[in-house]
Amino acid sequence: MTRLHLSLLALLSICNDAELYHYHRYMLSEYKPQHSHALQSDYKPMPRPIYSDEEYLTAPEDVELNVEDGKTTIVQQLMVRIFANDKYICMGMLVDADVVISTYACIQSAQSAKFTIQTIKNKVFKLRETVTRLSNSPLVVELHLAQPPIDSMFRPQLCPNKLNAGVQVLLSIYRHNSVLSELANVVPLKDCRALLNDTFNQYTDGQLICIKNERKSAACQKNYGAPLIYKNNLCGINLLGHRCLRDGKLDLYAFVLNETAYTQKALSSVHSLNIEDVIL
């Protein structure tokens, strides 16, 4: 019997069993049935998950910040990486031509080191030895640069009022040599306090912001000093990293307040109540 006859017989055999099986050809063997279609007649592919806005929130690629004279800039221009003896330790934000703010705990851990900052364009600037803790937010420090990397007109506007639970904010983090931003929601501070140690009990609710992560991820990203943006104003500085609390769903930020604007707004509110008329 010729090879052609054998091939035809094999083909006829395959066709007769086609209703029950489909066949795959192995490189070093004959055709073999893989599985019965009858066994898989009820098979249905799993649909891809659909994330609602509450579960997966996307942010604009370029997050804008209000600066001097009613202008704006993108947050990447003001975000910096801080190095101690040439080793990366945390993030920071330029809040003036020669001033960077970051988390006190990060800087305290390397106080005897020589600090430098690196901008998003990889330009390196030296820091002076002066480190000043903010009076209204002792968890945040000011670092002074020997040479200003930006013009003073790019000074970001700080929060004019405190943030209430439920408002939506923007979180910007530095990852893989680029800045990524995502939307998140402010939640009651008690949610974060339940996961914190006694170190933070001395700080009032007005000095801290608790954020719920909408993007589900188990990865802890140590972006200490990264900014929180609300209505294009700089309102917070990351204290413990991104998704680094025990359950991975909450972040803690130090509140950064524009004291002058906040006081003026408070006085304006009091004036609008016409308290003098009530007393008289």
Q: Are the CB atoms for 187 and 76 separated by under 8 Å?
A: no
Residue type, 136: N
Q: Which residues are CB-contacts of 272 (< 8 A; sequence separation ≥ 6)?
A: none
Cα 167 to Cα 235: distance, rounded to the nearest angstrom: 12
Which letter does DSSP use for residue 66 in this model?
Answer: E
Instruction: List the Cα angle 228/231/236 in 5-degree steps.
Output: 20
SS3 211: strand
Specify the DSSP element, H or E, that contains 180: strand 178-187
Alpha-carbon distance values, 149 to 123, 141, 167, 192 (Å): 8, 18, 33, 35
What does the block give as tokens for 239? 């204290």
Cα separation of 277 and 129, whole Å? Answer: 53
Which helix (H) or strand (E) element contains residue 72? strand 72-74
Q: What count of other Cβ atoms lies within 10 Å of the Cβ of residue 179?
A: 21
DSSP code at position 207: G
CA distance 69 to 78: 17
pTM: 0.71
User: CA nearest 152: which of 223, 222, 96, 88?
Assistant: 96
Nearest Cα to Cα of residue 87 among 113, 125, 105: 113
Long-range CB contacts for residues 260-264, cutoff 8 Å, separation at least 24 = 261/158, 261/160, 261/161, 262/159, 262/160, 262/161, 262/162
- Return the DSSP state at 159: B
The pLDDT assigned to 219 comes to 77
List domains and CATH numbers for the chain.
64-262 (2.40.10.120)
Residue type, 219: A
Per residue of the chain (280 residues), give pLDDT as tens. 555 554 545 555 555 544 444 444 444 445 445 545 455 555 555 444 443 444 334 556 688 999 988 899 999 889 999 999 999 999 999 999 899 999 998 888 787 788 899 988 889 999 887 778 877 778 999 999 988 887 667 889 999 998 999 999 999 887 767 788 889 999 999 999 998 887 788 888 889 999 998 765 667 888 899 999 999 999 999 999 888 887 788 999 999 988 654 444 444 444 455 544 544 4
Q: How far apart are CA 52 and CA 216, in angstroms?
A: 12
